[in-house]
Amino acid sequence: KERNGNEPEFLQAVEEVAETVIPYIVQHDIYYGKNILLRMVEPERVITFRVCWVDDSGEIQVNRGYRIQMNSAIGPYKGGLRFHPTVNMSILKFLAFEQVFKNSLTTLPMGGGKGGSDFDPKGKSDGEIMRFCHSFMSELFRHIGANTDVPAGDIGVGAREIGFLFGMYKKLRNEFTGVLTGKGLSWGGSLIRPEATGYGTVYFAESMLKTKGESLKGKNVVVSGSGNVAQYAAEKSIQLGAKVLTLSDSSGYIYDSEGIDEKKLAYVMELKNVKRGRISEYLEEYPNAKFVKGKTPWEVKCDIALPCATQNELHEADAKMLLNNGCICVSEGANMPSTIDAVHTFQKAKILYAPGKASNAGGVATSGLEMTQNSLRFNWTRDEVDLKLKEIMANIHDSCIKYGKEDDGYVNYVKGANIAGFVKVADAMLAQGIV
């Protein structure tokens, strides 16, 4: 706390891990007294750099770029890039820290990292986005590589941005490698990567529900966000027979009591990914829906909640509202969307609750599969990748049960994910000595 006092999101992420991992360390001599968690909370390397670019009016703009290389004990640093005006050291360190545990849980050999910029892509032309991405990569390229650090997308960084970033990396290095994931299909991308985080979040929800003899079929689902993760969480929920009632963005949420079906979702994808519009424009096509300005969708009655927008979007009062409305399952697509108090509220009520580091790990897992395919110079089919994704999510669920099942039978998925993620990284760090 003394060293990172001005980094609230990072402290929050560490506190959530410490709550469950410290008691485990105390009970296990191989970890006790080795300051292992203290080592894990200090990034191996932090890089910040200036990103200058020229906007469409000819003015020079300056942003700050970052890459946090958190932990490489079990593989090259791996984690997304976020472009959003709220990006700062605290946000990226929390994301990088979470990523270490998440990547470990996937069972694939990936360390943890995260990066990005306070650049705001909203309202920018394609030309401005390209110039920014090229400038960003003109510095980042010296710090990354297929065997060193492999960034991917996150908020504000989708297929378009990965394309521009990859193009500049390739030009500067004069080599075609799998240095970024989330690439286009014709130049090294993997099938199912765009869908993976959202699909994985729903597969995880299905596994949790199964422990209670339930499934998504016929359930009412509330989704927040309308970006990459939210879109595919909604798609898989619909495919599994659920009724999706909401989507949102930073201006508010839409509520469609008839359910957002595949046709309506295709409209949302076009609206958000191609036209880059606002979710409120859903009403222009579907006027029976409602737009609730400035609010999050947690007030809507549902069985299942899938928070897929951003950190700290679900507070204690929201958690209570969800419980009062009969919600039985929360599977996080976003990173740390629930505050610590909200998490405790879910756990106290003993409902099914999965933290993002477990339930949204499908994205990075499929990025890991993209890395494997790049190394093999070979592509798996859609069904092959989807099957591997399903297996990985099921394994993560099993690991959570192994380490998180309590005496009364309740599965504490936070505890399970934290300890399972910790053990693998800690063992590797101990084996490698103090480096």
Judge whether 369 and 183 are in contact, CB under 8 Å: no
From the list 226, 237, 246, 399, which residue makes contact with ligand NDP (rule: CB under 6 A)? 226
Question: Within 13 A of 184's CA, how many CA atoms are on the CB side?
Answer: 11
Taking the C-alpha atoms of residue 183 and residue 32, their distance in angstroms, rounded to an integer, is 42
Q: Is 309 in the site for ligand NDP (CB under 6 A)?
A: yes
Give the residue, chosen from 156, 404, 416, 421, that forms a contact with ligand NDP under the rule CB under 6 A.
156
**Minimum Å distance from CB 278 to ligand NDP?**
7
Q: Give residue number: closest CB to ligand NDP.
A: 227
The contact pattern for ligand NDP, residues 334-353, with x = CB under 6 A and - = no contact, is xx------------------
State yes or no: 395 annotated in a binding site: no
d(CA 295, CA 302): 16
Specify which residues 390 forms β-bridges with. Answer: none
Q: State the helix-helix crossing angle for 362-376 and 382-404, rounded to 10 degrees.
A: 130
Q: Binding segment for ligand NDP among 37-45, 259-267, 332-340, 388-396 (CB under 6 A)? A: 332-340
Backbone angles phi, psi at 235, to 5 degrees: -60, -50
Q: Would residue 122 show up in a list of annotated catalytic residues for this protein?
A: no
Out of 360, 373, 399, 412, the residue judged to bind ligand NDP by CB under 6 A: 360
- Tell me the two tokens of residue 272: 């958000």
List 25, 89, 205, 229, residue binding ligand NDP (CB under 6 A): 229
- Residue closer to ligand NDP by CB (options 36, 202) is 202
Q: Does 205 bind ligand NDP (CB under 6 A)?
A: no
Q: Which two tokens stand for residue 275?
A: 């036209």
Count Cα neighbours of 64 within 13 Å in the Cβ-side half-sphere: 10
What character string, x for contact with ligand NDP (CB under 6 A) and - otherwise, covers 384-413? ------------------------------
Q: How far is the CB of 399 from ligand NDP (least distance, A)?
A: 18
Q: Is position 227 an interface residue for ligand NDP (rule: CB under 6 A)?
A: yes
Structural contact between residues 91 and 82, judged by C-beta atoms closer than 8 angstroms: yes
Residue 153 among known ligand-binding residues: yes
| Closest to ligand NDP by CB, 114 or 131 | 114
Size of the site for ligand NDP (CB under 6 A): 24
Is 99 annotated for ligand binding? yes
Q: What's 253's DSSP letter?
A: E
Q: Among 50, 42, 115, which residue's Cα sits nearest to residue 77?
A: 115
Tokens 């809507």 found at: 300
Q: Is 228 annotated as a binding residue?
A: yes
**Does 181 appear as a known binding residue?**
no
The answer to whether the annotation marks 78 as part of a ligand binding site is yes
> How many alpha carbons fall within 13 Å on the CB side of residue 79?
31
Q: Cα separation of 330 and 306, whole Å?
A: 6
Contact present, 298 and 305 (Cβ < 8 Å): yes
Rounded least distance, CB 33 to ligand NDP, Å: 34
Q: Which of 69, 190, 197, 373 binds ligand NDP (CB under 6 A)?
A: 197
Catalytic residue among 1, 34, 114, 272: 114
Q: List all residues 6 or more positions away from 377 whose beta carbon is below 8 Å from its beta carbon.
A: none
C-alpha distances out from residue 44 to 56, 68, 69, 296, 406, Å: 38, 8, 6, 36, 34
Beta bridge partners of 244: 221
Which residues between 136 and 155 bind ligand NDP (CB under 6 A)? 153-155
Of 181 and 207, nearer to ligand NDP (C-beta) is: 181
The rounded Cα 177 to chain-centroid distance in angstroms is 24
**What DSSP line would sit under 86-136, residue for residue?**
T--HHHHHHHHHHHHHHHHHTTSS--EEEEEES---TT--HHHHHHHHHHH
Nearer to ligand NDP, 106 or 138 (CB): 106
Q: Kindly write out the interface string for residues 65-104 of this chain, putting x where it contacts ligand NDP by CB under 6 A and - elsewhere.
A: ----------------------------------------
> CB of residue 250 vs ligand NDP: minimum separation in angstroms?
3
Query: Is 367 assigned to a binding site?
Result: yes
Return the structure tokens found at 394: 């099921």
**Sign of the C-alpha dihedral computed for residues 300, 239, 195 and 259 taken in this order:** negative
State the CB neighbour count (10 A cutoff) for residue 134. Answer: 18
The first and second tokens of residue 216, run together, are 């998504």
* Residues between 234 and 263 with contacts to ligand NDP, criterion CB under 6 A: 249-251
Q: Which residues are annotated as a binding site for substrate?
A: 78, 99, 102, 153, 367
Q: Which residues are annotated as a binding site for NAD(+)?
A: 197, 228
Catalytic residues: 114
Q: Which residues bind to ligand NDP, rule: CB under 6 A?
A: 153-156, 158, 197, 225-230, 249-251, 308-310, 313, 333-335, 360, 363
Q: Which residues are annotated as a binding site?
A: 78, 99, 102, 153, 197, 228, 367
